[in-house]
Amino acid sequence: MKYPEYKQPLNYGQLGEDILAWWKEHGIFEKSVSSREGQPTFVFYEGPPSANGAPGIHHVMARTVKDIFGRYQTLLGKQVPRKGGWDTHGLPIELQVEKELGITKEDIGKKISVEDYNQRCKETVMRFKAQWDDLTEKMGYWVDLNDPYVTFEPEYIESCWALLKKLYDKGLLYKGYTIQPYSPAAGTGLSSHELNQPGTYKDVKDTTVVAQFKVIWDEKSKALLDGPYGEQNVYILAWTTTPWTLPANTGLAVGKNIKYLLVRTVNQYTREEQLVILAENLFGKYFAETEEHNRSNSYLTMNWASDEPVVNKKGLLTRWVINEEFTGADLVGIKYERLFGPEEGFPHFEGEERAFRVINGDFVTTEDGTGIVHISPTFGADDFRAAQLADIPALMVPDAEGTLGPIVDRTGRYVPQMGEFAGRWVKNYDGHDETGADYKTLDESIVIKMKGDGTAFKVEKYEHTYPHCWRTDKPVLYYPLDSWFIKTTAVKDRLIELNKTINWKPESTGTGRFGNWLENLVDWNLSRSRYWGTPLPIWRTQDRTEEICIGSIAELKAEIDKAVAAEIMTHNPYANGEKVDLHRPYVDDIFLVSPTGQPMYREPDLIDVWFDSGAMPYAQWHYPLENEGQFQKNFPADFIAEGVDQTRGWFFTLHALGVMLEDSVAFKNVIANGLVLDKNGNKMSKRLGNAVDPFATIKQFGPDATRWYMIANAPPWDNLKFDPAGVTEVQRRFFGTLFNTYSFYALYANLDEFQTSEFDRVPHAELSELDRWVLSKLQSLIVEARGHLDNYDPTKAARAIQDFVTDQLSNWYVRLSRRRFWKGELTQDKRAAFETLQECLVVVAQLMSPIAPFFGEWLYKNMTDGMRAEAEAKNTPLAPESVHLTLLVEADTARIDPKLEERMELAQRISSLAHSLRKKSVLKVRQPLQRILVPVLNESTKEQVGLVEDLICAEINVKHIEFLDDESESGVLVKSVKPNFKRLGQQYGPRLKAVGARIQQMTAAEISKLEKEGSLAVEVDGQPITLAPDDVEIRTDDLPGWLVATDGPLTVALDVTLTDELRQEGLARELVNRLQNLRKDSGLEVQDKIRVTLADQQPELTAAVAAFGDYIRTETQALALTFAADVNGGSVLEFDDYSVPVFLEVATS
């Protein structure tokens, strides 16, 4: 059976399609899993994509990363089940449907029923599934698409419910509140999407106040603030544009790295002397620079009690002295007095003993205000979060039913406990008349009181933008709204601890982005006020005293039966085996009965879609309701990979659920890959028109070059600048070279009708130096590539494979071995060459196959199909029909020969130097030369180079290498020394410069002495030191009278003397070259024999042919090479100064 031969250029797109068809026909993917039955499992989790949009080139990137390791682990013999999945819930789908229908959330339940709306979502979410499946196949991503998990299916939702119930039973599910945009006028919360509607942000003019909070004197504040003037009135300044939130203040936040000042000044409303604290950067906003302040004793000269104005025309304070400065971190922990306390008729509240402290807030800036932020946990999201982290309570008061709530009710007015302000509207939500002369807004009333109390530092009208409800045009409040939470903070330490056992690529995402996120963890807000998603399975009585969390469809049915019995429901909608849909609105129509007989209503929220995807390790098997064994076998994952943007998304929810449910990591290794940008580093977008179409790319370049480029160009976790020119380069340089190498092999193997066998091979010991070298390099490559892939670094593996193929295998081994392949009969040496190249190509096919699965398959099949029958019969490593079913070769380390690799590198470098010298001397490689000279300083280099002398000579066309050493008489070795700074630096430190200079002045005699005696005493700056041989590097980079080239310690000189014989041989070579060209131009086959007649016109040429006729005939496969006086009907060979008519004919026998 012959090796397939191909015409240039290879169509890589077609190759991909052909291999794909073959895979399908032979069920290779299925076999790659089934053939590993009973072997250890390598667990991979597919992060489910959403099919509501077309896939992009970045998906090719992400899925290549995933695919590589599934295939690699299969090659290692593991079984790698790869269950696909689809993410189907969520806001993007709702928005898409609303856009298509031309409706808003308001219209749901009015213009369109929830039922129809959700039906629409369900239809929309899989709209691009066909395209996704197509891409999956074409790019060669092996994942099981026949039995994927789908998050909207009842079984999947049921699993989510079961998991939620587990958490509920552990006490990890609770109802609390979050701060959300809320419209009191409309009585509804607003989504961030609604807030982003045009026109919602308006300029408004508000009364703002810099409030001053009085520091309480205790250990902490004394340590920081106690000055030479005793205990004084020290105030912390904080600015707010919403004075109505000040009665709800329970903390003050500073930036821990911000610089703050303690300033002595006067209150402009009370005229009391006082000390205030504010950020240094904002000092100029409140204080005026005057001449007074330039005096060193300004405190003493300042007339603190003067009746003169204390502010200038710009409103800046003129009487001040800076007393101290410190950072925010110094201030944390200081306590202060409450502004609106019980003594003035304002309410006590739970936890107030922990309130009124300075805390750290990472959101604090010095852009405006005072660099200190007033915290009211009930009216700001930042405030809420910072307060939670610092254990600052919120100011909550009970309503008529005893339920705790903020100081503002849901209609937007102060609750009755608010003393003199009780019942006041915080903004004008009821449309009351504001035009009366005495009318005061609540903000104004509060500020007036503060001025009187001496707690206002500065009051100003201030214009700023503020969000408004798009329906009522009234200002939005940030307000606490009910939410369900998972108490992730309860397992925070465990989350952190187990995260440290996860192998993150890159590591910094695990320790940094993810680690920091865990350190600052708050509870997971599960609630979403939406329609298309997994409903929260909790039913409650109206008085909230009784509730039930449903964990299965069976349980739900049983509870409905109870409700029917209690006549709360008329019938059980699921009783007759009807299809159960757990989505809204169906679950909303189910009412249950509490143990005390009260009706229970479902909590209307849906859960965060991230719960859906984080639950996939369990829900994909319908666990915990069934398939315990399946689940156990596939938990946790050995490997997952997604974009780095999933860090706080999927990576977190997987981890959180894994820790809470199983007290385990959910994945052991994870690659967080970066973005795919366009070639200029811009984000790809359809709008900008710079998005790359994955289908067109794969068709044009083939899937392999696309994948290889993405992996080899940059590590997956760096952003990739996708440049099609780069794919072209990979295609040409790597795949083109590899294809050429294969074609070369196939061409000559077929000519010799040679077929390698796994059994009958030339023994390793009998292989040539070059064969053993490339096989040594191959083993080193196996070690290296496996190491990188084991370490989840595909980029380094790809680069190593690429380097081996292009530089070592093609450009050195094949180039130097060419004639062994085409010359003469099938000798042992020729067989050795075939077998060596065959082994390299087969191993390369295996190693590359995870990254370039199609080409790897193509190469493997082309190389081994001819041996398959025998391999199958004897069940050898090459028995599998597909490279993806083979077991990856282990490196045969016994064949790694470091000395051999070292001397071949010497050969490569010496050849390069010789080429360089030829170039300088204008001597083409075809002109043979007598010798090169190589100075050697030690015996081992001489020996090493000597072993590869033949290779070097052949490569650079010289007769032999002459070594120059101390003993040789041929020339004077001129040695020079270079200081070894690394060694010397450690030894001499600051004296290094002088020592180095002294070394460079060493005489030949000194060098010789150092070499012979092993040490040399010299003087540096009058001090004696002793040099060891290791302190310097001795080299010979000059040969007097010779043209030399050097590369590090290597030096080469070329003898350019030309003898007549050398000239003749050069001519013979020229002639061979021209005849070969002529053969090729005449369209002759490689194996054709020829007869050549040359015009007998040039004596030199005639002499050359006479001397080298055999050589010429052998090289050109000429049976006859004769001269004639006249040559007609042929062509003319031109070279050097010659012009020779020639006649060439194919020899028929």
Partner RNA sequence: GGGCUUGUAGCUCAGGUGGUUAGAGCGCUACACUGAUAAUGUAGAGGUCCGUGGUUCGAGUCCACGCAGGCCCA
* Binding residues for RNA restricted to 780-799, rule: CB under 7 A: 795
Among 381, 564, 1034, 1062, binds RNA (CB under 7 A): 381
Token pair in block for residue 1006: 């000194």
Q: Which residue, among 75, 86, 88, 73, has the nearest Cα to 46 in the 3D structure?
A: 86
Distance CA 914, CA 904 (A): 15
Among 201, 326, 586, 744, binds RNA (CB under 7 A): 744
In angstroms, what is the minimal distance from the CB of 953 to RNA? 15
- Tell me the window of 297-305, 323-331, 645-653, 844-852 that interacts with RNA (CB under 7 A): 645-653
In angstroms, what is the minimal distance from the CB of 24 to RNA? 30
Asked if 954 interacts with RNA (CB under 7 A), we say no
Q: Which of 23, 48, 181, 212 is catalytic?
A: 48
Establish whether 610 is a catalytic residue: yes
Strands (E), 7-128: 83-86
Establish whether 650 is a catalytic residue: yes
Q: Which residue, among 656, 624, 659, has the nearest Cα to 163 in the 3D structure?
A: 624
Among 483, 810, 846, 944, binds RNA (CB under 7 A): 810
Asked if 876 interacts with RNA (CB under 7 A), we say no
Distance CA 1113, CA 1089 (A): 10
- Closest CB to RNA among residues 81, 715: 715
x/- letters, 994..1033, toward RNA (CB under 7 A): --x-------------------------------------
Q: Are strands 1016-1020 and 667-673 parallel, antiparallel or unpaired?
A: unpaired
Token pair in block for residue 712: 């080899």
**Burial letters 655-672, b for 16+ CB under 10 A, else e:** bbbbbbbeeebbbebbbb
Among 905, 1088, 1110, 1134, binds RNA (CB under 7 A): 1088
Establish whether 919 is a catalytic residue: no
Q: Which of 87, 704, 771, 897 is catalytic?
A: 87
Token pair in block for residue 553: 């469809």
Asked if 417 interacts with RNA (CB under 7 A), we say no
- Closest CB to RNA among residues 402, 989: 989
Distance CA 1082, CA 1088 (A): 11
Asked if 409 interacts with RNA (CB under 7 A), we say no
1042-1061: contacts with RNA (CB under 7 A): 1045
Distance CA 77, CA 877 (A): 12
- Closest CB to RNA among residues 259, 440: 259
In angstroms, what is the minimal distance from the CB of 137 to RNA? 27
Distance CA 181, CA 481 (A): 9
- Tell me the window of 29-37, 53-61, 204-212, 986-994 that interacts with RNA (CB under 7 A): 986-994
Among 91, 422, 925, 1056, binds RNA (CB under 7 A): 925
Q: Which of 470, 650, 708, 717 is catalytic?
A: 650
Token pair in block for residue 982: 């690394």
In angstroms, what is the minimal distance from the CB of 1022 to RNA? 18
Among 815, 874, 899, 960, binds RNA (CB under 7 A): 815
Which residues are within 8 A (CB) of 556 and not within 5 positions of it... i.e. 6 or more apart?
Answer: 537, 550, 574, 590
The one-letter amino acid code at 885 reads: L
x/- letters, 449..488, toward RNA (CB under 7 A): ----------------------------------------
In angstroms, what is the minimal distance from the CB of 1093 to RNA? 17
Asked if 500 interacts with RNA (CB under 7 A), we say no
Q: Are strands 372-375 and 251-254 parallel, antiparallel or unpaired?
A: antiparallel
Token pair in block for residue 254: 């500073």
Asked if 806 interacts with RNA (CB under 7 A), we say yes
Phi-psi category of 321—alpha, beta or left, where left has phi over 0 and alpha has psi -120 to 50? beta
Asked if 981 interacts with RNA (CB under 7 A), we say yes
Q: Can you say how many angstroms the Cα of residue 717 is from the centroid of all Cα atoms in its chain?
A: 2
Cα angle, residue 958 at apex, residues 954 and 959 outer, rounded to 5°? 95
Task: Return the H-helix or E-strand segment holding 986.
Answer: helix 981-988
Among 104, 232, 552, 811, binds RNA (CB under 7 A): 811
513-532: contacts with RNA (CB under 7 A): 513, 516
Token pair in block for residue 465: 């933008």
The answer to whether 242 and 379 are in contact (CB under 8 A) is: yes
Distance CA 75, CA 877 (A): 12
Among 423, 1014, 1080, 1132, binds RNA (CB under 7 A): 1080
Token pair in block for residue 371: 């660099």
Among 365, 503, 876, 1131, binds RNA (CB under 7 A): 365
Asked if 546 interacts with RNA (CB under 7 A), we say no
In angstroms, what is the minimal distance from the CB of 313 to RNA? 30
Q: Which of 683, 920, 993, 1080 is catalytic?
A: 683
Distance CA 35, CA 249 (A): 67
Q: Which of 142, 425, 610, 858 is catalytic?
A: 610
Distance CA 766, CA 237 (A): 88
1112-1141: contacts with RNA (CB under 7 A): 1116
- Closest CB to RNA among residues 201, 591: 201
In angstroms, what is the minimal distance from the CB of 199 to RNA? 21
Asked if 982 interacts with RNA (CB under 7 A), we say yes
Query: What count of other Cβ atoms lies within 10 Å of the Cβ of residue 860?
Result: 26
Q: Which of 646, 731, 779, 838 is catalytic?
A: 646
The answer to whether 698 and 16 are in contact (CB under 8 A) is: yes
- Closest CB to RNA among residues 154, 189: 189
Asked if 984 interacts with RNA (CB under 7 A), we say yes
Distance CA 878, CA 867 (A): 8
- Closest CB to RNA among residues 548, 933: 933
Distance CA 732, CA 10 (A): 10
Asked if 720 interacts with RNA (CB under 7 A), we say yes
Distance CA 44, CA 64 (A): 14
Token pair in block for residue 10: 């290879």
Establish whether 686 is a catalytic residue: yes
Asked if 723 interacts with RNA (CB under 7 A), we say yes
- Closest CB to RNA among residues 139, 977: 977
- Tell me the window of 295-303, 508-516, 778-786, 836-844 that interacts with RNA (CB under 7 A): 508-516
237-296: contacts with RNA (CB under 7 A): 257
- Closest CB to RNA among residues 84, 716: 716
The one-letter amino acid code at 1135 reads: F
Among 170, 193, 874, 924, binds RNA (CB under 7 A): 924
Among 309, 342, 351, 512, binds RNA (CB under 7 A): 512
- Closest CB to RNA among residues 10, 446: 10
Establish whether 228 is a catalytic residue: no
Task: Return the H-helix or E-strand segment holding 447.
Answer: helix 442-453
666-685: contacts with RNA (CB under 7 A): 675, 679, 681, 683
* φ and ψ of 613, to 5 deg: -75, -35
Cα angle, residue 907 at apex, residues 977 and 928 outer, rounded to 5°? 110
Among 508, 542, 970, 1139, binds RNA (CB under 7 A): 508
73-102: contacts with RNA (CB under 7 A): none
Asked if 226 interacts with RNA (CB under 7 A), we say no
Query: What count of other Cβ atoms lies within 10 Å of the Cβ of residue 111?
Result: 13
Tell me the number of residues near RNA by CB under 7 A: 84
Token pair in block for residue 870: 């025998």
Distance CA 342, CA 335 (A): 17
The answer to whether 334 and 358 are in contact (CB under 8 A) is: yes
Distances (CA, A) of 47 to 486, 524, 543, 617: 22, 20, 41, 10
Query: Which residues are the active-site residues?
Result: 48, 87, 610, 646, 650, 683, 686
